[in-house]
Structures are given as C-alpha cells and as structure tokens.
Structure 1
Amino acid sequence: MTLTTTGGKTTLAAIARLTGVSAPTVSKVVNGREDVAPQTRAKVLAALEDAGYQSPGQRRTAAGPSVVEVAFDSVNSNYSLTVLNGILDYAAEAGVEVMLSATQHAPAGGHDLSRRAQRMVDEGRAGLIVVTSAFAEAQLMAFRRRQIPVVVIDPLNPPPGDVVSVGATNWAGGRAAAEHLLDLGHRRIAYLGGPKSAECNQARLHGYMSALMSRGIGFGPELVIHGNFRAEYGVEGLSALLTMPEPPTAIFAGNDAIAVGVLREARRRGIRVPEDLSLVGFDGTTLAEDSVPALTSVAQPLHDMGRAALRTVLRQARGEQLDSHRVELATQLVIRESTAPPAR
C-alpha cells in the first residue's frame, strides 16, 4: 500500500490508512498516550519512522537552535552547581540553549507526567537531562515513548535499558577511599552512606567492602549506616557511631556533605580530625577544599559529567548510534588534611 502525502508532508490520516488503524489512534501514539496496545503502537511507530514523519515540535527544533531541558532535584549544592557549569560550558560551545526545571516540583502522576513530556514535544525540546533524580522507569518512559532523548546523571535508581546514564567510577572510588585509610593503619573504618537503594551509594559501599576483604579485615554491620546525602546525616551518623563500645578510628562518608556534617559534630564534641578521627568524603566539591581541616575526598569529574551528558543528548537528537548506554568517568582520590594514622 502506498503512502499518501499532502504538500510533501506525511499526514496522520495517511499513516492511519497504511497501518489499518484509526486516525485518533495514530494521534494517541504520536502524543505518547498510554491507552494504545503495544503491538498497535509498534506498528504505527514503524510506519511513522519509515515515512519520516516529524511532529510540529520536531520541525521547529530542526529550524532553529536546539533547546535542552535540564531537571534537577535542586541546585542548592556544590555538586549540582558543578554539574550545571559543565552543561552550560558545552552548551555555549555547541550553540545550544538550556532550560532548567525541578524534578521535586514535577507531578508524580502518570497523566501529569505524560502532559509534561508532551509539552516538551510541542515546544520542540531536543532532549532531557535528569540529574540525580529518583524518576522511576515508568516515569522516564513517558519521555522515551515520545522519542525524546533522555540522559540521567548519577541516577538513584537504575534507569531503563534504553536510557543513557552518566556517572563516575563509584566502586573504584569507594575502594580507593578505604585503601587509603587501611594504608594509614586504620582497621575500624565506618561507612556513612546515602540512601540504601541508591545505585551510586551501593557501588561506593561495595568498593569499601572489597578493600577491607582484600586485606582480610572483617567488619560488623554496625559500621555501615545508610541515611541521605545531607550534612545533617553526618551529624546523626557520627553520634550513632560514638555510642559503640569500640568506636571507629576512621569514617568514609558517602559524599562531601555527609563528611562536613561529621566535621561539625566532631568539633562540637571536642574530637580532633585527623588526630582522633580520620575522615574521607566523596565528590571532590569546593566543600572539601574549604572545610577545616581540608577534606580528603574522592573527586568525581562533575564538570565533565555535565559536558558528557549534554553531548550525548545532542548525539541522540541527531539520530547517531551510541556505543554504550552507560558512560563512566574516572574518579581520583585527593589527599588533604583530614586523614592521618590512628592514634596509638
């Protein structure tokens, strides 16, 4: 069956005739609606792709500068600001405009999220970058169904297989942090991490555990405490660790914010860092450089992660084939003033 076009442009009615479904059904597929059978959706999408159909938003994108939406949980942290600077730097090089939004204010309902995704299509967004978001697989797929390129930076939950994620070598960084403390002579090393289910937190924890096991050093579950990636948790975590009959001599904090909370509580209690307690953070943000004492930390290439995320979104928007759906950049342990051999 031949495809009929109007004025050189493929019409939804022509797609409907070609696939044997109704025009409203084709419209639902184009708009990413949920109430279409999977087989029907696949047949219509294939026909749209073969016909080179472009939505009005896609045609606007092709005609003018690309606009990429970047969604943060918040931008009030050194982590988020460094990632954002990387995105903006690459945007300036690529001639791309960036629009910011907040995932914490995004509606959680499926229909509301579908409307948000459809708005991106209608406004001609080239793609979406989500930073450390807890968007679930079903939520991310609302964008993917509309063929909106999506890249997630440091996802809390593993994204769907066809969604690209950008992160750092968290496992290697966790192992490097623990090995540094072991090399100094510490044997009771605690881990104060973020959310237990967070993918990056699990990788850092497993790297820490691997370093201890490789030295034949056992550790009890009381030395591993999960919470969140905020400074308040560092305060709570250190308080809990100090109730032990034998408190740890060193702490590996899941990020720099937690480590700063540990420093704050240690200072309040008269505990000297690093004389009485060694401390390692993770992220390598300006928090680590500006803390007193300056914090030993596993540095993530946050600026480069932002650049890589935007570069990958634009490659997808151009229809380029990606070599991998996971991009990992190397971490580096930066030794400063917060670690020393344990007191005798």
Structure 2
Amino acid sequence: MNATIKDVARESGFSIATVSRVLNNANASYSSKTAKKIKKVAQSLGYHKNNIAANLVKRTSTTIAVIINSVKTNFSFEILSGIQEEANKNHYSVIILYAGNRSDNLTKQAIETAIDRSVSGILLVAMQLNQENTEMLRDANIPYLFVSTHPNNPLEKFVSSDNHLITQTAVNYLIKMGHKKIGLVGIDQHTTGKERLAGYKKQMLANNLSINNEFVQYGDYSYESGQKIIEKIGPLIKNGDLTAVIAASDMIGAGLIKGAKKEKIKVPDDLSIVSIDGTYICEITSSELSSITQDFRQIGSLSVETLLKKKNSKFVPIKLIKRKSVKNLM
C-alpha cells in the first residue's frame, strides 16, 4: 500500500496540514528546515503524490465536515438538522466529528481527519480553538466557519446569536416585570459565558442595579449543574435577596426547577426564571420556562450558506418567549 500524507505526518511529527502544504509546494509560514525534513520522510516512506486524484478531489469534493463540541445541553440537534437540510439543498454530504468536551487533543484529531478527507469546508459547532489547532486549520487552506459561537478574532467568520444581546434582553424583561435582584447562573468561563456575563453586567449597571457576587454562579449548562446551583442560591432566595435568575441553558433552567422543588422554593412565586435557548425543554418543565429563544435551525442552515457562498459573519435574531416561569412584581 502506498504511503499517505497521514503516514508522513505521523513519522515527521508535523501536522497533516503542514505536510500537505509542503508536499504541494504551497506558500506558507513553514521554514526550509521543516520542508526539508518532511520531504526526506516522504521519500523514505515511498510517498508519491497522485496528481490526477488530487486534482479530481479539488474539483469534485462536495463534503462538509462538522466538528462539534460535546456540550452538556440539547441545542445541537436543531443546528445539525439545519446544516443537513441546507447541505442537501446544495447537493453536499455531511460528516460529523466529535471533539469531546473542550479537548484540544480530540479537536486536533477531528481537524486532521477532516483535512485527510479532503473536505470542501469545515463547520466548528460550539468550538473554541487553541493556538495550535487554529494554525493547523489556517494552514490547511480549507474554508471554515464557527457556528453558535463568536470567536475573539474579528477575522474569523461565524454564524451565531449575539450573546451580549441575549442577557441584555433577559435583564430588561425581568426589570419590566418588577425584578431588581437578578442573577445569572450556569454559565461557563469560556467565550460564550464571558459574553453573556458582560451583557448581564452592562444591563444591570445601566439600570443602576447592584450585583451581589453570589448572583453569578458558574456551571456547565447541564441539568445536574442547575440542581447544584439552586442549593447555593437557596438561602438568598428564601431571604428575599434574589427574586429572579437568567439560566444559561434550558437544561440549567430545568435543573433549577427540579432543585427548587426539593428546597421547597416555588417557581415563579419565590423565584422567577428566564432560560437561554428556547428548546422543547421549556414546554415540558412543571413550570413552563420563559426563554430567550435562539433559532438554532436557522443558525445551522445559514452556516452552510455562509460557508459555501463565502458570505460575511452574521448574528441570527433572538426572540423573547413568555411562558409561566416569571412572576410580575409590578
């Protein structure tokens, strides 16, 4: 069997992307020493570039790779459905690669697999890349797009909801319902969590509302995390020091309701909740969750359209859906 680029990458110690660019004589930021080593390894393994096959792949590749972070919430199904629908419309196939729960190593493996499959584009769902994986992706010269996350680098393309606007909208709604002691619970300490915290703080301060340190509770967006958080904020609620919270996900919101029942805290009489996401979970909880609803299916479909047609980054509109989990204190 002939040696492949993956074999050369493994033996040389360089990424598939770097090896591919060297062997294709592409201009890139690699040293002559790197190029020399890679070519020496390729020669020792008997690697021969198949120009006919390579050109055929470049002309006809109609596969999109979706690399997804294993988040502990339930929004990804709608995103993947939107991606699949739009890909089908454009006669593209989709492969899904899982990157674990923010695992840099598994992310690297997923990116290498996508590059090795000669995909026409890569969608990164709820992903945050370290420097090494970012450079590997850029070196591969394959179009890529962040989905449902807003990267810090303004040059990176994305399709997402506006996380600042999400929490600002939630705070405004709760204020209109008469609440002043408002918390934000279940966020993580990565990009999405930081953006939502910034939006929350900005809107609270704009309305001259104080933020108790205990009003902000971190988690991992999961149902279990919601139950643990209610144990921490229970005393604040029972003392009347906290009347409402913004839940970082519907799963956090559902966990809060479950935990509240155990702590003999009534929703919404004792605690009002607005959850972020607006999935079906909101309608099956014992107290239906009011939500800042994201259109995940549209995020998925627009990500494919943006990737294939090389459009600009886009924030997808959000919507406030009022249900039964917020008490009017006015």
Same fold (TM over 0.5): yes
CA distance in 2 between counterparts of 1:25 and 1:71 reads 21
Return the alpha-carbon distance in structure 2 between the equivalents of residues 161 and 262 of structure 1.
Answer: 35
CA separation in 1, counterparts of 2:20 and 2:87?
35
SS in 1 for 2:320: strand
1:30 and 1:146 in contact (8 A); partners too = no
Where does 1:313-328 land on structure 2 (aligned, <5 Å)?
A: 313-316=307-310, 322=311, 324=312, 326-328=313-315
One of 228, 235, 240 as aligned partner of 1:243: 235
Q: Counterpart in 1 of 2:48? A: none
2:98 to 80, 98, 102: 102
SS in 2 for 1:272: coil
Equivalent residues in 2 for 1:288-307, closer than 5 Å: 288-307=282-301
Give the whole-Å Cα distance in 1 for the aligned partners of 2:209 and 2:162: 23
User: Contact 1:173/1:333 (CA < 8 Å) preserved in 2?
Assistant: no
Shift of 1:58: 5.8
Deviation at 1:282, TM superposition (A): 0.3
Q: How does 1:12-161 map to 2 (within 5 A)?
A: 28=22, 30=24, 36-37=30-31, 56-57=53-54, 59-63=56-60, 66-74=62-70, 77-104=73-100, 108-109=104-105, 113=108, 117=111, 119-155=113-149, 158=151, 160-161=153-154
C-alpha displacement of 1:162: 3.7
- What is the match of residue 223 of structure 1? 215
Task: Name the CA shift for 1:91/1:76 in 2 (closer, same or farther; >3 Å).
Answer: farther
What letter is aligned with 1:99? Answer: I
Distance of aligned partners of 1:121 and 1:236 in 2 relative to their CA distance in 1, 3 Å threshold: closer
How far off is 1:130 after superposition? 1.2
User: Does residue 178 of structure 1 match 2:171?
Assistant: yes
Q: Does the residue aligned with 2:235 lie in a helix, a strand or coil?
A: coil
Paired with 1:136 and 1:26, the residues of 2 have a C-alpha distance of 21
Q: What secondary structure does 1:219 align onto? A: coil
Check the 8 A contact 2:231/2:263 in 1, yes or no. Answer: no
Name the SS for the 1:306 alignment partner.
helix
Structure 2 residue aligned with 1:259: 253
The question of whether the paired residues in 1 share the 8 Å contact of 2:97 and 2:110 is answered with no
| Residue 201 of structure 1, CA deviation | 1.9
Unaligned runs of 5+ in 2: 1-17, 36-50
Kept in 2: contact 1:78–1:286 (CA 8 A): no
Matched AA of 2:231: S
**Aligned residue identity for 1:214:** A
Q: Deviations over 1:247-276 (max 9, x none)?
A: 411111111111111011012222221122
Q: Do the aligned partners of 2:72 and 2:220 also contact (CA within 8 Å) in 1?
A: no
Q: Secondary structure at the match of 1:78?
A: coil
Superposition RMSD in Å = 3.3
SS at match of 2:140: coil
Secondary structure of the equivalent of 1:336?
Answer: coil
SS of match in other structure, 1:264 = helix
Counterparts of 1:206 and 1:159, CA distance in 2: 14
TM-score (norm 2): 0.79
Please identify runs of 4+ aligned residues in structure 1 that moved more than 4 A: 24-27, 31-35, 54-58, 115-119
Alpha-carbon deviation of 1:122? Answer: 4.2
| Number of the residue aligned with 1:10 | none
Letter in 1 for 2:202: S
Whole-Å separation in 1 of the counterparts to 2:90 and 2:294: 24
- Report the AA paired with residue 264 of structure 2: G
Is 1:195 matched with 2:182? no
Displacement of 1:337: 0.6
Identity %: 21
Further displaced range: 82-91 or 233-242: 233-242
Alpha-carbon distance between aligned partners in 1 of 2:230 and 2:288, rounded to the nearest angstrom:
18
CA–CA distance in 1 between the matches of 2:105 and 2:25? 17
